[in-house]
Amino acid sequence: MSEGSQGAAPCARLDLNTLQSTFEGRDPFAVLERRTGQVDACVISTCQHLLAPHLAVPFALAAAGGYGRRELFPCSDVDLLLLVGSENDVRQVKEPLSEYLRVLWDSGLRISHSVRTVQECCQFNEQNIELHISLLDLRFLTGELDLFHRLQHSLTDFYAHQGKRLAVRLAEMTRQRHLKFDNTPYHLEPNIKESCGGIRDLHVIGWFSRLYPNRPEIAETLISLQEAKRFLYTLRCFLHFESARDNNLLTFELQDEAARRLATEPVSPENWMRQYFYHARQVFGSAVRPLELAEAENSPLWRQIRERRSRISTPEITISRDRILLRHPALTLSSAESVLGLFTFAGRHGVRLSWDAQRRVRSEAARIRQSFLQAPPSWRIWREFFSMPHCALALQAMQESEVLTAAIPEWEHIDSLVVRDFYHRYTVDEHTLLAIQIIDKLKGNAPSAPARFRHLAAEEEDPALLRIALLLHDIGKGTHPGDHVRGSREMANIILSRFGAPESAKAAILFLIEHHLDLSQTMSSRDLHDPATARLLSSRIGTQEDLRRLALLTYADISAVNPGAMTPWRAEQLWRAYSIGMEQLTRELASERIHEAELVGKTSLPAEVAHFLEGFPVRYLRTHTQQEIEHHFALYRRSLREGVAIDIQREPHAWLLTVIARDQPRLFASLCGALSSFGMNIVKAEAFSNASACILDQIRFTDPLHTLELNPSEVNRLEWTIACVLKQTISVEDLLKRRRPAPRPARTAQITPSARFHDEASDTATLIEFIGEDRPGLLYDLASTISAAGCNIEVVMIDTEAHKAVDVFYVTRNGGKLNREMEEQLQADLIRAAAG
């Protein structure tokens, strides 16, 4: 022991128990004040006894950081600054200072100290931004007051000149910290100080309010967060007392204890955590705004983007500083439909609500809830909302402004819901929104996502169904914790009825919810090499479209569990499960046929309809509703009278041609030719035949020149022409001669045509899979080539993904499969036909 400390008893060891008694009243601010007072007394008296007598130079001792703000938590570090007059003085204070610090350590204080001159404190140091930030909260303790005032004076100048630069660096540091916590407050076991929406974010808002003194709204934000501050401060005091150290991690065990000890009335830990997330959400949302302010001022590029976006406006909504503002809030918030329109706008442009817009929407939450109940938006409006490229962002904005529970009251069951699971990192609602964000990224072709799943997402024509299924896939976790799949399905059924979803969409969404665990279970517990696994998958899933959506949903669901959940290993397994299922379903197109005897008694279909269905691929039953089947049966009866029945219907994004006729050579090719002669572009097609040689062809086509739309009479003429072609009173070749020749594939075409033949795909037919660059008339050329080779097209499934045609034909020749020689010849002919 050195001479100076002999006999000195500057302060007794600081005891947590005494401090804890202050906490019994649950007032964290009293604890902080008392702790700060205790430490002040200890630090100052020790300094006067041990340090001051041994310093021959002028000095001032100051508190920085949380200690400077008088916000010392029970086990927080104590930041001290020893201010000296010159560089030489720094060396002189070294020895007495070390003895002083040792005594403070022995008193139980965790000291963090620095010795600096006024000049050092006011020199911008890129490597030590934390120092400049901690000096914002500087407080005089003891020593030369003049020296301290000199520093304060210089710091005022320093912040006036360097404030913006400092704000930019603070924003960067905060963003990095948020990133460490995946940019979300919804961690099942959150760090209540550092994670998003934690106490550090409250400090950040406070620092920004000092760095931007001309932006009073930042300081006002802090006032509005008083309740959140009290909650978080109480919790941190509790954690420090419970752990007897600077612990800020709210583990499941501590959540149990906190719910028991801190809640004013009995509450389950899960429900108590909802209060935590409620406050953290407020704090995080408020902290992000000054960050954006600093970033926008720093980046000219950002300013340009912001200004460009400012031009995207509607009579009700405008964008300013990359935020949505409401021109006429009363009007926008007057109906459920217009409220949803506001968020559809956010989802379309990827822009969040301004602070003011959010505040206004939140203040109207009760009325908005009523309007969603009394006059809910139509299915068309909901579908449009869920089709937006930034749907997850829009849903997050709805969540932040409390509209999500107003629009879908069942959401409340999973709002901030903690389900304790070893693998899950986030609350159920956050997991759900993250999963939708992953779909948005896949659809947006984000390079960070694996190419295979991006391609799969590109094939998905109706992402709205997928997003709705994801939104509701875990909604039963709040009410049916043991069997959430059943709970989610039941709740989704009610919600979808309220949305006014048509039966087909409802069935597709409910299917996805019911089967959302199938693929993940298959990939981990089934032998993917075993044909039985493929058969099991195909029997449970039924159609290629459902399997594709299920694969995307599973990809998003697993990826949203935690950032490391979708390992390359799992992605590979999922892809393999998808591939074997897809292969099996394609194979079954020709082999799995409907049997009348199995339908009668098992379905509500009349016997005559069951007879009509005999021999169609099973896919037909899986992809059509009973209403559609009845419509087809009515067409079939018409075809018996008239020889052929043709029906053309307008759909939202395409036209649908349905043809029922007796089978005949070149029938499918003739249909394609007739459509091509009208300038129509075929995007999807299915051609089936039943046991009585009756064909049912359904072709979806677009009308690039809007001929049918602008001239309704042309629909009738198209129907008449198709009928004539099928009755062979008009020749397709003659029709096509009158049209301009189809354009050849562009030289820059990226897709090299390929035709693969699979003999083992069916017992009776050969499968041809053609992939190539799509062009008008392609399908007619391919179908004609197959017919010209003397082959009969049994089943067809045509798909188009952007510029790529994916065509599957099941063909026979003389009632059997093609031989090797025939395949080679036809392969060459098809490639030649594709080249035009």
Partner 1 sequence: MKKIEAIIQPHKLDDVKEALKSIGVDGITITEIRGHGRQKGHKEVYRGMEYEVDLLPKIKLETVVPDARLDEIARTIVASARTGKIGDGKIFIYDVAEAIRIRNDDRGEAAL
Q: How far is the CB of 557 from partner 1 (least distance, A)?
A: 18
* 219 close to 229: Cβ distance less than 8 angstroms: no
CA atoms within 13 A on the CB side of 508: 22
Give the number of residues in contact with partner 1, rule: CB under 8 A: 27
- Asked if 563 interacts with partner 1 (CB under 8 A), we say no
- Asked if 565 interacts with partner 1 (CB under 8 A), we say no
The whole-angstrom separation of Cα 92 and Cα 46 is 19
Q: How far is the CB of 453 from partner 1 (least distance, A)?
A: 11
Please identify which residue in 17, 374, 448, 525 interacts with partner 1, judged by CB under 8 A.
525
Rank residues 155 and 751 by Cβ distance to partner 1 and give the closer one: 751
The whole-angstrom separation of Cα 55 and Cα 81 is 15
* 80 close to 62: Cβ distance less than 8 angstroms: yes
Structure tokens belonging to residue 90: 């720094």
Rank residues 326 and 519 by Cβ distance to partner 1 and give the closer one: 519
Please identify which residue in 806, 822, 827, 831 interacts with partner 1, judged by CB under 8 A.
806
The whole-angstrom separation of Cα 655 and Cα 586 is 25
User: Which window, 168-176, 356-364, 647-655, 801-809, contacts partner 1 (CB under 8 A)?
Assistant: 801-809
- Asked if 519 interacts with partner 1 (CB under 8 A), we say no
Q: How far is the CB of 572 from partner 1 (least distance, A)?
A: 5
Rank residues 191 and 579 by Cβ distance to partner 1 and give the closer one: 579
* DSSP-derived secondary structure letter, 125: -
Rank residues 398 and 755 by Cβ distance to partner 1 and give the closer one: 755
- Asked if 652 interacts with partner 1 (CB under 8 A), we say no
- Asked if 804 interacts with partner 1 (CB under 8 A), we say yes
Closest among 234, 219, 10, 207 to 100, alpha carbons compared: 10
Angle at 30 between CA 24 and CA 33, to 5 degrees: 140
Give the H/E segment covering residue 433: helix 428-443
* 660 close to 639: Cβ distance less than 8 angstroms: yes
Please identify which residue in 564, 568, 712, 815 interacts with partner 1, judged by CB under 8 A.
568
The whole-angstrom separation of Cα 270 and Cα 732 is 69
Q: How far is the CB of 554 from partner 1 (least distance, A)?
A: 15
Q: How far is the CB of 548 from partner 1 (least distance, A)?
A: 11
- Asked if 827 interacts with partner 1 (CB under 8 A), we say no
- Asked if 262 interacts with partner 1 (CB under 8 A), we say no
Please identify which residue in 224, 304, 320, 567 interacts with partner 1, judged by CB under 8 A.
567
- Asked if 529 interacts with partner 1 (CB under 8 A), we say yes
Q: How far is the CB of 538 from partner 1 (least distance, A)?
A: 17
Rank residues 125 and 567 by Cβ distance to partner 1 and give the closer one: 567
Strands (E) across 426-584 are located at none
- Asked if 15 interacts with partner 1 (CB under 8 A), we say no
Q: Determine the 3-state secondary structure of 324 from DSSP.
A: strand
The whole-angstrom separation of Cα 284 and Cα 352 is 14
Please identify which residue in 91, 308, 650, 756 interacts with partner 1, judged by CB under 8 A.
756
Rank residues 527 and 763 by Cβ distance to partner 1 and give the closer one: 527
The whole-angstrom separation of Cα 136 and Cα 64 is 8
Q: Say which residues have a Cβ less than 8 Å from residue 729's Cβ, sequence separation at least 6.
A: none
Angle at 41 between CA 37 and CA 45, to 5 degrees: 170
Q: How far is the CB of 651 from partner 1 (least distance, A)?
A: 24
Please identify which residue in 455, 486, 737, 744 interacts with partner 1, judged by CB under 8 A.
455
At how many degrees (to 10) do helices 226-243 and 28-46 cross? 60
User: Which window, 314-322, 489-497, 567-575, 613-621, contacts partner 1 (CB under 8 A)?
Assistant: 567-575
Q: Please state, as a whole number, how many other Cβ atoms lie within 10 Å of the Cβ of residue 266.
A: 9
Rank residues 459 and 663 by Cβ distance to partner 1 and give the closer one: 459
Furthest CA-CA distance within the chain: 120
Rank residues 482 and 568 by Cβ distance to partner 1 and give the closer one: 568
Structure tokens belonging to residue 785: 């080539």
Give the ranges where 135-198 is alpha helix by DSSP (H).
145-180
Residue window 715-754: x/- pattern of binding to partner 1, with contact defined by CB under 8 A: ------------------------------------x--x
* 555 close to 604: Cβ distance less than 8 angstroms: no
User: Which window, 53-61, 224-232, 300-308, 569-577, contacts partner 1 (CB under 8 A)?
Assistant: 569-577
Rank residues 173 and 528 by Cβ distance to partner 1 and give the closer one: 528
User: Which window, 189-197, 248-256, 527-535, 556-564, contacts partner 1 (CB under 8 A)?
Assistant: 527-535
Please classify residue 321 by burial: count the beta carbons closer than 10 Å to its beta carbon, then call 0-12 exposed, 13-18 middle and 19+ buried.
Answer: middle
User: Which window, 340-348, 385-393, 572-580, 619-627, contacts partner 1 (CB under 8 A)?
Assistant: 572-580
Rank residues 693 and 828 by Cβ distance to partner 1 and give the closer one: 828
Please identify which residue in 125, 314, 524, 731 interacts with partner 1, judged by CB under 8 A.
524
Please identify which residue in 301, 315, 330, 569 interacts with partner 1, judged by CB under 8 A.
569
Rank residues 420 and 756 by Cβ distance to partner 1 and give the closer one: 756
The whole-angstrom separation of Cα 707 and Cα 680 is 9
Q: Determine the 3-state secondary structure of 384 from DSSP.
A: helix
- Asked if 445 interacts with partner 1 (CB under 8 A), we say no
The sign of the CA dihedral 102, 108, 110, 111 is negative
Rank residues 54 and 526 by Cβ distance to partner 1 and give the closer one: 526
Please classify residue 106 by burial: count the beta carbons closer than 10 Å to its beta carbon, then call 0-12 exposed, 13-18 middle and 19+ buried.
Answer: exposed
Q: Say which residues have a Cβ less than 8 Å from residue 688's Cβ, sequence separation at least 6.
A: 616, 617, 619, 620, 695, 696, 697, 795
Q: How far is the CB of 535 from partner 1 (least distance, A)?
A: 16
Rank residues 379 and 575 by Cβ distance to partner 1 and give the closer one: 575
- Asked if 576 interacts with partner 1 (CB under 8 A), we say yes
The whole-angstrom separation of Cα 432 and Cα 422 is 17
- Asked if 600 interacts with partner 1 (CB under 8 A), we say no
Rank residues 234 and 522 by Cβ distance to partner 1 and give the closer one: 522
Rank residues 412 and 459 by Cβ distance to partner 1 and give the closer one: 459
Please identify which residue in 164, 480, 570, 803 interacts with partner 1, judged by CB under 8 A.
570
- Asked if 683 interacts with partner 1 (CB under 8 A), we say no
Structure tokens belonging to residue 789: 């080779």
The sign of the CA dihedral 477, 483, 489, 491 is negative
The dihedral region occupied by 178, where left means phi > 0, alpha psi between -120 and 50, and beta the remainder, is alpha
Structure tokens belonging to residue 135: 């000096």
* 732 close to 725: Cβ distance less than 8 angstroms: yes
Q: How far is the CB of 459 from partner 1 (least distance, A)?
A: 8
Please identify which residue in 3, 24, 126, 527 interacts with partner 1, judged by CB under 8 A.
527
Rank residues 529 and 706 by Cβ distance to partner 1 and give the closer one: 529
User: Which window, 214-222, 224-232, 591-599, 798-806, contacts partner 1 (CB under 8 A)?
Assistant: 798-806
Report the amino acid identity of residue 653: H
Q: Please state, as a whole number, how many other Cβ atoms lie within 10 Å of the Cβ of residue 555.
A: 28
Rank residues 524 and 728 by Cβ distance to partner 1 and give the closer one: 524
> Integer distance in angstroms from the first to the last C-alpha of the chain?
97
Q: Determine the 3-state secondary structure of 326 from DSSP.
A: strand
- Asked if 684 interacts with partner 1 (CB under 8 A), we say no
- Asked if 653 interacts with partner 1 (CB under 8 A), we say no
* DSSP-derived secondary structure letter, 685: E
Structure tokens belonging to residue 795: 């089943």
Rank residues 711 and 754 by Cβ distance to partner 1 and give the closer one: 754
What is the binding site for partner 1 (CB under 8 A)?
Answer: 452, 455, 459, 523-529, 567-570, 572-573, 576, 579, 582, 751, 754, 756, 771-772, 801, 804, 806
